[in-house]
């Protein structure tokens, strides 16, 4: 099943679960068509030298370390917990969460030392153990594979260490977060001994991923500017080089086109309006090739 003649880059992604949709979507946005995604075992692309394996997320670091897959998409939480040899090449910006320690609300807490001697339920024993060691705290780790949040309520543990995103699961189970062990997101990982051909294919893929990521962080802005305010308006706009300026049919006015980063977006829009810009249009960018 997992044959390879070296002419394709083999990527391991989650078979189903929280990272599946975003992983497939990212490949699509990179212009990579995948056949038979529904089959969900393996597939390949007709328009890019890529073969995709669909696996449990827990198995992805091992497959990449062993070189059964060349690269993989997995949460940092799983990568660190499995402690396998694979390098992170890119943060992908989805699947964001944190591994946190949470205690029953109302329970006394005065820093990590309050965890001494406590029973901690978690699916992440390796990371929890390293965290406690780092803080010189001995506690009793109970590894469980799911529904960690109910452990204190049924008397299985005193506290939990679990993944949190919105915090509502903890809240609904009467727990409150007291420590964050790591912040996590989906990352692209690679085997440590790829050959030159595989590295070239990886670089082609990375170039596309970075263009997609960059486009998501930016917006294309078109606006009308009175010519006497043009210099001030242009000075507010960075653009990829400098803004495009075109004369409007109405004399004394120009159309200005540029690219704005989401971090400074609203602040810039307010300044542009104050400087006399009118008819401001903002459109999403599909790809940004630098």
Would you tell me which residues interact with ligand PRT (CB under 6 A)? 14, 17-19, 56-58, 75, 77-78, 95, 97, 162-169, 184
CA distances 155 to 2, 23, 132, 149, 178, Å, are 44, 38, 22, 11, 20
Q: Which stretch binds Zn ion (CB under 5 A): 40-48, 56-64, 109-117, 146-154?
A: 56-64
Q: Where are the beta strands (DSSP E) in 106-197?
A: 119-122, 140-143, 159-164, 175-184, 186-190
By beta-carbon proximity to ligand PRT, the closer residue of 97 and 236 is 97
- For Zn ion, the closer of residues 159 and 163 by Cβ is 163
In the list 22, 29, 44, 58, the residue contacting Zn ion (rule: CB under 5 A) is 58
Q: At its nearest, how many Å lie between ligand PRT and the CB of residue 82?
A: 11
Q: Residue 101's CB: how many other CB atoms inside 10 A?
A: 25
CB 75 within 8 A of CB 20: no
Binding site partner of 70, from ligand PRT, Zn ion, none, Cβ cut-off 5-8 A by kind = none
Please state the closest distance from residue 147 (CB atom) to ligand PRT, in A. 8
Return the one option of ligand PRT, Zn ion, none that residue 62 interacts with (CB less than 5 to 8 A, by type): none
**Ranges of H-type helices in 30-75:** 60-66
In whole angstroms, the minimum distance from the beta carbon of 9 to Zn ion comes to 24
Q: Least separation, in Å, of the C-beta of 144 and ligand PRT?
A: 11
Alpha-helical (H) ranges within the chain are: 20-29, 60-66, 76-82, 125-134, 168-172, 196-216, 230-236, 265-274
Question: Are residues 179 and 186 in contact, defined by beta-carbon separation less than 8 angstroms?
Answer: no
Residues between 106 and 135 that touch Zn ion (CB under 5 A) = none
Q: Is 22 in the site for Zn ion (CB under 5 A)?
A: no
100, 162 in Cβ contact below 8 A? yes
Residue 193 to residue 229: CA distance in whole angstroms: 57
Nearer to Zn ion, 57 or 70 (CB): 57
- Is residue 87 involved in binding Zn ion (CB under 5 A)? no
Question: What does the binding site for Zn ion look like in residue numbers (CB under 5 A)?
Answer: 57-58
């Amino acid at each position: 099943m997992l044959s390879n003649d070296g002419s394709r880059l083999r990527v391991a992604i989650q078979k189903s679960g929280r990272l599946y949709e975003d992983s497939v979507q990212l490949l699509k946005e990179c212009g990579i068509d995948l056949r038979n995604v529904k089959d969900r075992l393996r597939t390949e692309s007709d328009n890019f030298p890529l073969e995709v394996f669909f696996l449990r997320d827990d198995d992805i670091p091992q497959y990449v370390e062993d070189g059964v897959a060349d690269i993989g998409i997995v949460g940092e939480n799983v990568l660190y917990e499995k402690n396998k040899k694979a390098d992170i090449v890119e943060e992908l910006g989805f699947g964001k969460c944190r591994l946190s320690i949470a205690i029953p609300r109302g329970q006394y807490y005065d820093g990590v030392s309050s965890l001494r001697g406590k029973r901690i339920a978690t699916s992440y024993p390796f990371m929890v153990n390293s965290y406690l060691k780092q803080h010189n705290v001995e506690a009793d780790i109970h590894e469980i594979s799911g529904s960690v949040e109910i452990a204190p309520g049924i008397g299985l543990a005193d506290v939990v260490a679990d993944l949190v995103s919105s915090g509502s699961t903890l809240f609904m189970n009467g727990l409150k977060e007291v420590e964050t062990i790591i912040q996590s997101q989906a990352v692209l990982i690679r085997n440590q001994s790829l050959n030159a051909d595989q590295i070239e294919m990886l670089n082609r893929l990375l170039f596309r991923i970075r263009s997609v990521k960059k486009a998501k962080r930016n917006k294309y802005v078109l606006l009308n500017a009175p010519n006497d305010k043009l210099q001030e308006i242009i000075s507010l706009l960075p653009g990829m080089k400098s803004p495009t300026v075109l004369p409007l049919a109405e004399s004394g006015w120009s159309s200005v086109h540029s690219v704005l980063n989401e971090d400074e977006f609203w602040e810039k829009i307010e300044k542009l309006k104050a400087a006399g810009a009118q008819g401001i249009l903002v459109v999403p960018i599909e790809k940004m090739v630098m």
